[in-house]
Amino acid sequence: MRLSDVLSKPPKREYIQVDGFLKGKKGNIGQQVDLTVGNIALNYFCSECDDLRTYYSKGKLTAVFVDKDTISIDAALECGSCKNCTQVWFLVHSENDITSVAPKIRILKLGRHLSEKVAIYGTKYGEYSTLLDKAELAYNNNLGAGAIIYLRKIYEKITICTAQQMNIQYQQYEGGNPKNFRELLEEVDKQCSIIPFEFKKNGYKLFRELSGLVHGNCDEGLGLLKYEALNENTNPPAMLGRIE
Ligand SMILES: [Zn+2]
């Protein structure tokens, strides 16, 4: 596997071994190294094409050593169809020697500076798209509490919308919010399986945690950690796919 393969996938917590890409470099802080690792390819919603498109990195990628085991990589990406541009930034950390022949790496941070015509989800998921985009952008900017709140809003909207479609009655506060969200979620899920199995087996634990975070104290660090777990385990777009 090459570095570009890892950069072309969503960040994961596990370290992945890749072909050496900084072999024999000193790794002094601030040192710049041109990389020969292939192109980065990431999917974004392109408003010019009005659909999801693959954006490819243009030009030579350069790494800057942030410390001995960490590098920063900037990339300009271009839509494969219409040449719309956007920028991303990666902080890549290595578990072993990053200059070795087989470094084990992971994306520590993926920063996106999305241009106006580019979005993560665009209009693909209707009214949920904006919330999904906001959750991701908050997460990208280390605003863990914000990311969690948007995520909770998405789950709530999906659940309520499904309940309405299936004529499931529930107690509401003024304004329409359910009085017992978890109860409603379980009821909806019983009739129309919207929650992935991996998630259910823990007795909806992640949802409980999500509620706890929104209603209790949620610091940014904890929010970021939980957002990763929630997003990974529930995948809001996959849930939306189940209702459509
Ligand atoms: Zn395009």
Q: Which domain holds residue 77?
A: 3-119
**pLDDT, position 220:** 78
Q: What confidence tier does 244 reach under pLDDT thresholds 50, 70, 90? A: very low
**pLDDT, position 109:** 87
Q: Which long-range contacts (CB under 8 A, 24 or more apart) does 229-233 make?
A: 230/148, 230/151, 230/206, 231/135, 231/139, 231/151, 233/196, 233/198, 233/199, 233/206
pLDDT exceeding 70 applies to what percent of the chain?
83
What is the torsional sign of CA 147, 152, 153, 157? positive
| Same structural domain, 141 and 100 | no
Give the pair of three-digit tokens for residue 185. Answer: 């979620």
Burial environment of residue 73 by CB neighbours within 10 A (0 to 12, 13 to 18, 19 or more): buried
Residue-averaged pLDDT of the chain:
84
Separation of CA 116 and ligand 1 centre (Å): 12
Separation of CA 244 and ligand 1 centre (Å): 25
| Same structural domain, 111 and 16 | yes
Residue recorded with tokens 């243009």: 58
Task: Name the domain count of the chain.
Answer: 2
Separation of CA 53 and ligand 1 centre (Å): 6
| Same structural domain, 142 and 66 | no
Domain boundary among 65, 86, 119: 119
Domain boundary among 52, 86, 119: 119
The partner residues of 87 in beta bridges, in order of sequence, read 76, 113
